C-alpha cells in the first residue's frame, strides 16, 4: 500500500488497509470480523446499505470472492487521534454469485477507535470509477 500512497504517510492506517485487503483476498472472515465495526454503515456500488453481518456472510459462504485487488491510489486524512478517512482506488476482480465483475473502484472508508477499542471500519462507500 505504501507504493500507492499520496500525501502524508500514516503507517498505522496503511497497515490496517493492508490487513483489510489481505482479509478480503483470503475470504478471512475472522480477520474481517476484527476489522469491521458491529454497527457498520456501508453503501455498496448498487446504493444499498450493507451490514457487517451481511458482509461476513457473503465472504464466508463464497457468494463474494475477491480474485484480484490491485491498489492504485491511497489517500488518508486523520480527523483527530481516533478517526481517519481513507480514499482507495483499486482495480478489482470480484466473483459475485458466480459472475466475475472487473473494474476500477473507489472505496471511501472511515476508520475509528470507539470507546478506546481497536481500529475498525465504521462506515464507507464503494463505487465504480468510469473508464476514461
In the chain, what are the domain boundaries?
2-128
- 3-state SS class at 81: coil
How far is Cα 109 from Cα 121, in angstroms, rounded to an integer? Answer: 7
Cα angle 76-81-86, degrees, rounded to a multiple of 5 = 20
List, for residues 10-57, the tens digit of each pLDDT value. 999 999 999 999 999 999 999 999 999 999 999 999 999 999 999 999
Tell me which architecture the domain covering 2-128 has in CATH. Answer: Roll (3.10)
SS (H, E, C) 11-78: HHHHHHHHHHHHHHHHCCHHHHHHHEEEEEEEECCCCCEECHHHHHHHHHHCCEEEEEEEEEEEEEEE
List, for residues 69-116, the tens digit of each pLDDT value. 999 999 999 999 999 999 999 999 999 999 999 999 999 999 999 988
List, for residues 54-65, the tens digit of each pLDDT value. 999 999 999 999
Q: Are 85 and 77 in contact (CB under 8 A)?
A: yes
pLDDT at 132 over 80: no
Please tell me the pTM assigned to this model.
0.95
Amino acid at each position: 500500500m505504501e507504493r500507492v500512497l499520496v500525501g502524508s504517510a500514516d503507517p498505522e492506517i496503511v497497515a490496517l488497509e493492508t490487513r483489510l485487503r489481505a482479509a478480503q483476498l483470503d475470504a478471512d472472515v475472522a480477520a474481517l470480523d476484527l476489522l469491521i465495526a458491529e454497527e457498520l454503515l456501508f453503501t455498496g456500488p448498487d446504493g444499498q446499505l450493507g451490514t457487517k453481518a451481511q458482509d461476513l456472510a457473503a465472504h464466508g459462504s463464497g457468494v463474494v470472492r475477491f480474485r484480484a485487488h490491485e491498489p492504485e491510489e491511497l489517500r488518508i486524512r486523520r480527523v483527530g487521534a481516533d478517526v481517519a478517512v481513507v480514499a482507495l482506488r483499486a482495480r478489482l476482480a470480484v466473483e459475485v454469485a458466480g459472475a466475475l465483475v472487473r473494474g476500477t473502484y473507489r472505496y471511501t472508508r472511515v476508520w475509528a477507535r470507539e470507546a478506546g477499542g481497536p481500529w475498525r471500519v465504521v462506515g464507507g462507500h464503494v463505487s465504480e470509477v468510469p473508464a476514461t
